[in-house]
């Protein structure tokens, strides 16, 4: 198994849930600082791949904030200070109830998720959704798929790579395939010089259909019905057009490639698959 820990594929994030000061929150809602019951996510504030995600509920008496950005972007201040500043600026946060922080691997999954007597699931296997860093659902799904392969392996006493392989094949041909396609999207956005993700949303190049597909983990793609509303953004950023076309072509190739992930463990077939995957992602051999 090869683990991949490039800083460019890691996000540092921190979140906090607080009780609110009701009067201040009501006043903030009146001033338009935040909607009551509203959830919003502001992208691009701390570098191209970044989010400030916020929720306020006066009825529940809580406010939530999450800030996350790419580690490699070397953004100042550190993420915890960015959260402190946000809380201070909003003005209605009261006692802290819960919170945490950590790193999130946003790259597509490990090529090889099993070894003799060993499976990698969830965050350890890079199964987070690359475009927004959510990893809980994938962690649960990979846990379930791994158990389906591990239970018979334990019953028969054969816990070899070959016996555990069905877990990897199930995952890579299913959710892994979609998340690899999302990684193509992420890398395309990452590589745009001088235009951040926020501008892509503002200009209309990224459509709400793209956001929904990301959240619901549906295959990324361009719905022809969304084309007209993207045109003004594309005219504003014409250099984006060949990038988007290239991304669409790569995405299709990547998805077709993951559908060919070897069903059974065969080192030669797997090696050839991994070489081709590296080529599609423009990666060097590690």
Ligand X SMILES: Cc1cc2nc3c(=O)[nH]c(=O)nc-3n(C[C@H](O)[C@H](O)[C@H](O)COP(=O)(O)OP(=O)(O)OC[C@H]3O[C@@H](n4cnc5c(N)ncnc54)[C@H](O)[C@@H]3O)c2cc1C
- The footprint of ligand X (CB under 6 A) covers 13-15, 66, 100-102, 104, 122-124, 128, 134-137, 139
Bridge partners of 119, per DSSP, are: 114
Q: Which is nearer to ligand X, 13 or 113 (CB)?
A: 13
User: What six digits make up the tokens of 181?
Assistant: 């396609």
Q: Which is nearer to ligand X, 15 or 26 (CB)?
A: 15
Find the shortest distance in angstroms from Cβ 165 to ligand X. 20
Find the shortest distance in angstroms from Cβ 99 to ligand X. 8
Find the shortest distance in angstroms from Cβ 217 to ligand X. 10
Our CA angle for 247, 121, 217, nearest 5°, is: 40
Q: Which is nearer to ligand X, 79 or 163 (CB)?
A: 79
Q: Which is nearer to ligand X, 122 or 204 (CB)?
A: 122
Q: Which is nearer to ligand X, 15 or 203 (CB)?
A: 15
Pairwise CA distance, residues 222 & 15, whole Å: 32
Contacts of residue 115, defined as CB under 8 A and 6 or more positions apart, other chains included, come to 1, 161
Find the shortest distance in angstroms from Cβ 256 to ligand X. 27
Q: Which is nearer to ligand X, 149 or 240 (CB)?
A: 149
Per DSSP bridges, beta strands 50-57 and 39-43 are antiparallel
Q: Which three-class secondary structure string do you get for 6-65?
A: CHHHEEEEEEEEEEECHHHHHHHHHCCCCCCCCEEEEECCCCCCEEEEEEEECCCCEEEE
Q: Which is nearer to ligand X, 44 or 135 (CB)?
A: 135
Residue 95's H or E segment, with its range, is: strand 93-105
Q: Which is nearer to ligand X, 143 or 221 (CB)?
A: 143
User: What six digits make up the tokens of 55?
Assistant: 């929720």
**Look-up of token digits 């929904």:** 212
Find the shortest distance in angstroms from Cβ 15 to ligand X. 4
Find the shortest distance in angstroms from Cβ 14 to ligand X. 5
User: Do the beta carbons of residue 63 and residue 93 sit within 8 Å?
Assistant: yes
Find the shortest distance in angstroms from Cβ 90 to ligand X. 18
User: Do the beta carbons of residue 280 and residue 273 sit within 8 Å?
Assistant: no
Q: Coil, strand, or helix at residue 117?
A: coil
User: Do the beta carbons of residue 61 and residue 20 sit within 8 Å?
Assistant: yes
Find the shortest distance in angstroms from Cβ 89 to ligand X. 19
């Amino acid at each position: 198994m090869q683990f991949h820990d490039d800083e460019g594929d890691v996000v540092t994030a921190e979140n906090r849930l607080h009780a609110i000061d009701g009067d201040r929150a009501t006043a903030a809602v009146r001033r338009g600082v935040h909607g009551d019951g509203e959830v919003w996510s502001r992208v691009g504030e701390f570098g191209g791949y970044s989010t400030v995600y916020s929720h306020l509920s006066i009825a529940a008496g809580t406010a939530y904030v999450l800030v996350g950005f790419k580690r490699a972007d070397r953004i100042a201040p550190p993420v915890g200070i960015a959260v402190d500043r946000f809380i201070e600026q909003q003005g209605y946060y009261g006692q802290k109830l819960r919170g945490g922080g950590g790193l999130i691997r946003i790259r597509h999954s490990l090529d090889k998720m099993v070894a003799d007597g060993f499976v990698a699931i969830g965050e350890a296997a890079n199964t987070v959704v690359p475009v927004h860093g959510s990893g809980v659902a994938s962690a649960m799904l990979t846990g379930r798929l791994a158990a389906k392969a591990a239970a018979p392996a334990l019953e028969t006493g054969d816990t070899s790579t070959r016996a555990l392989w069905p877990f990897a094949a199930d995952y890579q041909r299913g959710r892994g395939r979609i998340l690899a396609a999302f990684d193509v999207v992420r890398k395309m956005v990452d590589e745009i010089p001088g235009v951040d993700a926020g501008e892509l949303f503002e200009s209309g190049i990224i459509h709400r259909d793209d956001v929904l597909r990301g959240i619901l983990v549906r295959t990324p793609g361009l719905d022809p019905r969304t084309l007209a509303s993207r045109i003004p953004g594309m005219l504003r950023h014409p250099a984006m057009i060949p990038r988007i076309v290239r991304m669409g072509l790569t995405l299709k190739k990547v998805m077709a490639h993951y559908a060919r992930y070897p069903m059974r463990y065969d080192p030669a077939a797997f090696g050839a698959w991994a070489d081709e995957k590296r080529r599609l992602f423009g990666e060097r051999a590690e």
